[in-house]
Structure 1
Amino acid sequence: MRNLLSALIPVALVSVAAPAQAKELPANDRYVCSWGAGTAARAQELKLSGVSLYAARKKIQTYTFNKSWMRMMALGITEQTYDSPSRFKPAAVRESFYKDCVRYKMAHK
């Protein structure tokens, strides 16, 4: 009985751990998170340099985007960045945004 139990425990642990490791973020989701992180970092850079939200919005309107959803998403990210009292450096904002986005995407899989 003891031998059977000691043989089944590793099998049970592997069967539980395998699905947890099998989750990997698709390339499209990684791209969206990376793009959003870059947008947040640029917005933080503009905010810290004293550019108004109005001017930042105008600047976004002049950009050309690859996908139709990107313009509205960029405007939303910029608005949220300006609404935040954060004075973090753009690199820290990029890293934080990316980590949170990946965590969100993984949780919703």
Structure 2
Amino acid sequence: MRNIWVALISFSMAGLAVPAEGKELKAGDTYMCSWGAGTAARAQELKLSGVSLYAARQKIQSYKFAKSWMRMMAMGITEQTYDSPTRMKPAAVRQSFYDDCVKYKLARK
């Protein structure tokens, strides 16, 4: 009897996991996540090299952005990066940001 319950629970858990796998990101969501991850990595690089938040903001203001939402998003990402006490390497920040962004986008679907 115990084996039957274990089998039933296993199949029900597998049945719940299948619909979650079918979700895919749109190209725009993937682009936004990768762009944001790159922005976070650059901000972390500036932070670790000793550049002040004020100077980082000035650099962002001098950049040309392809889309209107990018400037404010870059400012927000940079401020959050500077507010964080983490000393992670920029590559780790990029990967962490990208993974969390993808999880968030998939959860919204």
- TM bucket normalised to smaller: 0.7 to 0.9
Q: Which residue in the other structure is 2:6 paired with? A: none
Map 1:1-109; keep pairs closer than 5 Å: 18-109=18-109
The unaligned stretches of length 5 or more in structure 1 are 1-11
Change (3 A) 1:14 1:55: closer
Change (3 A) 1:14 1:47: closer
Q: State the 1:22 CA deviation.
A: 1.7
Change (3 A) 1:22 1:62: same
Runs of 4 or more consecutive aligned structure 1 residues displaced over 6 Å after TM superposition: 12-15
Q: TM-score, normalised by structure 2?
A: 0.84
Change (3 A) 1:14 1:64: same
Q: CA RMSD in A?
A: 1.7
Q: State the 1:36 CA deviation.
A: 0.2
Change (3 A) 1:68 1:16: same
Change (3 A) 1:13 1:76: closer
What secondary structure does 1:86 align onto?
A: coil
Identity %: 76
Larger Rg: 1
What is the aligned length?
98
Q: TM-score, normalised by structure 1?
A: 0.84
User: Which stretch of the first structure deviates more once superposed, 12-21 or 79-88?
Assistant: 12-21
Q: Which amino acid aligns with 1:85?
A: P
The unaligned stretches of length 5 or more in structure 2 are 1-11
